[in-house]
Structure 1
Amino acid sequence: MKIQVTFDSGQGPQTIELRNRQGWTLYHLAKAGWHGITTIERPALRLSAYVHRLRERGFAIETEMEAHGGSYKGLHARYRLLTDVSVQLQGDVEGQA
């Protein structure tokens, strides 16, 4: 799975290709809009690591900590993509995590 992403890098529009987990993560961040994504709603191992790598590539992603109940009460992160992007799919993204 891979996607092509066009965004303003601060030096004008830039298009890059993202593969595998980074592509999956950015696709779902873009699709979720302001609602964002969490590992509770979109289970994915190492989501925070994929977000970190996307930030290193120039994407602005906000993290908000939220409380959750249940047997293992605690906090989880909600990630929101702040960078305006245009995403072009180049494979099946929905079924992959």
Structure 2
Amino acid sequence: MSKPSYSVVVRVEPDGSPFTIKGRDAWALVNLIEAGEKGCTPLTTPGPRWSGYVHKLRRAGLVVETIHENHSGPFPGTHARYVLRSRVVVLSEERAAA
């Protein structure tokens, strides 16, 4: 049995060349695009490795801002909010079931 696959072909505006992002990195990118200025946090958009996804998106040439925010509760500390700053257009999106 194969794993489900997910990929998006995107282009950075105004004149970037198309490129493909796959797997959870594609999932993270689509969530960042949909979130807009409010961005994504591991608390609001749960995913096991947000920092890893963002690292790979940056290596692909995308600009993603990290905003460190405080949180309270029984385990106070900080968490990251990621905001996509590159203007990205999704040219195609593919989700293949297992």
Identify the TM-score tier after normalising by the shorter chain: 0.7 to 0.9
- Aligned equivalent of 2:71: 68
User: Letter of the aligned partner of 1:69 in structure 2?
Assistant: S
Deviating beyond 6 angstroms after TM superposition, the runs of 4 or more aligned structure 1 residues are: none
Deviation of 1:69 (Å): 1.4
Q: 1:2 aligns with which of 4, 7, 15?
A: 7
How many residue pairs end up in the alignment? 90
- Aligned equivalent of 1:91: 95
Deviation of 1:13 (Å): 1.9
- Aligned equivalent of 2:34: 31
SS at match of 1:90: strand
User: Letter of the aligned partner of 1:75 in structure 2?
Assistant: T
SS at match of 1:14: coil
What TM-score do the two structures reach when normalised by structure 2? 0.85
SS at match of 2:95: coil
User: Letter of the aligned partner of 1:13 in structure 2?
Assistant: G
User: Letter of the aligned partner of 2:9 in structure 1?
Assistant: Q
SS at match of 1:64: strand
Identity across the alignment (%): 34
Q: Which runs of 5+ in 1 are unaligned?
A: 93-97
Q: Of the two, which has the highest radius of gyration?
A: 2
Query: CA–CA distance in 2 between the matches of 1:80 and 1:70?
Result: 24
Q: CA RMSD in A?
A: 1.5
CA contact (8 A) 2:13 2:89 kept: no
